[in-house]
Structure 1
């Protein structure tokens, strides 16, 4: 007789949990295991294998018919913008820059940063993204940063704050006593990390050097948008390399329009790249760069960028990345009159990017990113007995990327804590988050005014040139 399914109230801190009889994608040796178990004790994965012996009192979760994989890792999300979800769905990149950087970004208060982060953090947990780097480039003062951290303290996810301030120069704001005092008190833990987030536009004197040196001297990683068409080019990377600040502590976001020389510099200095495929395809930063990164052996992670444009669906991120890479390979081959016979990028590769690639980008590869005994227990069970798309499961990695979706997320575990079970979050009600966001939206809308609010959401179309069609209907001359 099967063991009864546990009730949510049975998931108590410190009680061991075992997943039984699932397909386990370890993203590590030994790879994909069939009919396997995973044991969690406290916050740690303690055993992986078949028919595991477990301590008395261990809660059992039936994973049969499902796929167990590591929690996913998002290495670049502007979480504060989530409160305006979908507002910029028809934007070009220039409209995004104008709205936030030049016009309306300054109306956001600390409580609006909090609202966006709170909703984004809850959504991350709900969709199996157990670790998120918040590329928080609207932190005008430490009070704004406190608001971002407040949201993280209320949601049981693993977060990294990428501290940024797009309204100021990084060599200036990283040198202020207020910023350095705040950094000195930052409560770093296994659940909360810190990076500095800023960009390097073209310049001859490279003033950003001081910010890089501050980060290096204080052991803080840097995340920077690079290779963005028309914004951050090879010049910035040349200056970084010349100054000796390109290291393995830097993540380059997008990296979509760089020269071979720049990719070589990233590879030589051990950098990583965060690829936001849907963003790059839609906003025009450049063609998603995994097809280039493979040539140089540069490790890639995945990211969603911002929900002001796109969803936070990480299955979509994996699917789009794999498809974009293969599409470019085909286009390159066709341009030479060739045909691709074997796909170079596989489903297992984008799963690695979504998990271990993200962990490596954050310097956390020894803690998270794979189902390995001794690592933190960040896990995701994909199982939906009522979904036609979840049967049969023949090729597990391809199934995750091309068949499964967020509706199939059965269980999410963060740091050993079960935060979602049988498709429902445990103790994480949406209502108070929704109300907080509604108040923020109402405020921002009131500050913009109805005219600017509507125009911001619906940018006018430029006239398009039509090509005359030489083929016209002709009557049958014989009739």
Structure 2
């Protein structure tokens, strides 16, 4: 395929921007980026005239299975979320409900130009639940890192033992190919939800299996089981294979420890600012000061929008609100990097996605520039951050395959909605 004559925001290390550029794709991989490229015989030409061409966006932490209960937690605090969803209706999710939620959530991501999702799946009540999660991700056609986690219980999980053994089966039988569209990770309960000994056992299993680790660590030194990041550092658990989610309670010293060990961080700006008891704080300014460029995430559609345009705007606003007079404001284009190349690094896929460069997967999002909300276009990256929304996403490619064309998903969306509706009726009681 040749993507012809689009306004390219490559997000490459040089920040290359081509107002009239082409992208040549072979076998799902970008081979050439330039202008006036020749189309080899038999090449499909995708006319991108009047469109912005971006790398597919990367969501670094999304509880995709929760999509059927979307928007019900708009007023929830963190304890409400834990009680009502994780310890409540979530326990009623059958494998078919996990499939329905994950399918609709993944399609929602694709519709919004998100081509890669770290699917933080803490609903593995049985091996069948795991199989359903993976099947839904594959059926949706999204690139995904399946972060397997057993259910987080209301009781102190220190007594629950290490990570469920089902992860070993998932890794060796379902997701053994690290180059496939869906790959494996551990969604570790982490020291906010269990003792440090169990955390160490979990991390040890992930490292034995050779998969990345992602863990919620929001509480800082006041957590119920531990002393947050410091506890992991003291136990020798920090490393470049670890993504810390939220970090809203982290101190400057905590963040320096993460940076010194090469850890990555995923932030969820909308939920972090609007969900009481999660911190009401986005540590973006502190992360950048520590030398950590975080990835962005939706977190849960129970209490947040399902697109990264919203998260970019919340992130930018949070940073600007925390910036003292006289200090230069964070450029909007830097936030777009967090949703693309920085997100790819956070997801452990920096060699594969996040920028439009030869050798990278052809994961692309094309936005219409003739929208009344974008025209006339001058500062392209700023326009995306300040004004873009899923309705402007015209075309989406994952590994060179078109999954959205002409503003419509190439999927059976009616089926996905019907399955999720049936799940909502089951888990919420009609």
The residue number in structure 2 matching 1:405 is 389
Map 1:375-386 to 2 at 5 A: 375-385=360-370
Counterpart check, 1:235 vs 2:227: yes
Structure 2: unaligned runs, 5 residues or longer: none
- Are the equivalent residues in 1 in contact too, given 2:124–2:149 (CA < 8 A)? yes
- Are the equivalent residues in 1 in contact too, given 2:52–2:369 (CA < 8 A)? no
The residue number in structure 1 matching 2:317 is 323
Counterpart check, 1:435 vs 2:415: no
Task: Select which of 331, 343, 350 maps to 1:358.
Answer: 343
Question: Deviation at 1:358?
Answer: 1.4
Over 3 Å counting, the alpha-carbon distance change for 1:171 and 1:359 in structure 2 is farther
Query: What secondary structure does 1:34 align onto?
Result: strand
The superposition leaves residues 210-263 of structure 1 with CA deviations (integer Å, 9 ceiling, x where unpaired) of 111111122111111113376479713222111211000000111111112211
The residue number in structure 2 matching 1:157 is 142
Task: Select which of 178, 184, 188 maps to 1:194.
Answer: 184
Task: Select which of 308, 317, 327 maps to 2:302.
Answer: 308
| Structure-1-length-normalised TM-score | 0.83
The residue number in structure 2 matching 1:456 is none
RMSD (Å), alpha carbons: 2.0
Cα distance in 2 for partners of 1:249, 1:171 equals: 26
Map 1:138-217 to 2 at 5 A: 138-167=123-152, 169=157, 174=162, 177-187=165-175, 188=177, 189-197=179-187, 198-201=189-192, 206-217=197-208
Task: Select which of 38, 43, 48 maps to 1:58.
Answer: 43
Task: Select which of 318, 324, 328 maps to 1:342.
Answer: 328
Query: What secondary structure does 1:274 align onto?
Result: strand
Cα distance in 2 for partners of 1:46, 1:300 equals: 28
Query: What secondary structure does 1:35 align onto?
Result: strand
Map 1:413-432 to 2 at 5 A: 413-426=397-410, 428-432=411-415
Structure 1: unaligned runs, 5 residues or longer: 1-16, 334-338, 451-479
The residue number in structure 2 matching 1:250 is 242
Cα distance in 2 for partners of 1:203, 1:179 equals: 18
Q: What is the count of residue pairs matched by the alignment?
A: 420
Over 3 Å counting, the alpha-carbon distance change for 1:99 and 1:231 in structure 2 is farther
Cα distance in 2 for partners of 1:176, 1:117 equals: 20
Over 3 Å counting, the alpha-carbon distance change for 1:132 and 1:219 in structure 2 is same
The residue number in structure 1 matching 2:293 is 299
The superposition leaves residues 280-301 of structure 1 with CA deviations (integer Å, 9 ceiling, x where unpaired) of 0011422111111011101200
Question: Deviation at 1:170?
Answer: 7.9
- Are the equivalent residues in 2 in contact too, given 1:124–1:312 (CA < 8 A)? yes
Query: What secondary structure does 1:380 align onto?
Result: strand
Query: What secondary structure does 1:370 align onto?
Result: coil
Task: Select which of 51, 54, 61 maps to 1:69.
Answer: 54
Over 3 Å counting, the alpha-carbon distance change for 1:121 and 1:204 in structure 2 is closer
Query: What secondary structure does 1:51 align onto?
Result: coil
Task: Select which of 28, 40, 62 maps to 2:25.
Answer: 40
Over 3 Å counting, the alpha-carbon distance change for 1:171 and 1:148 in structure 2 is farther
The residue number in structure 2 matching 1:101 is 86
Over 3 Å counting, the alpha-carbon distance change for 1:45 and 1:179 in structure 2 is closer
Cα distance in 2 for partners of 1:194, 1:23 equals: 34
| Structure-2-length-normalised TM-score | 0.92
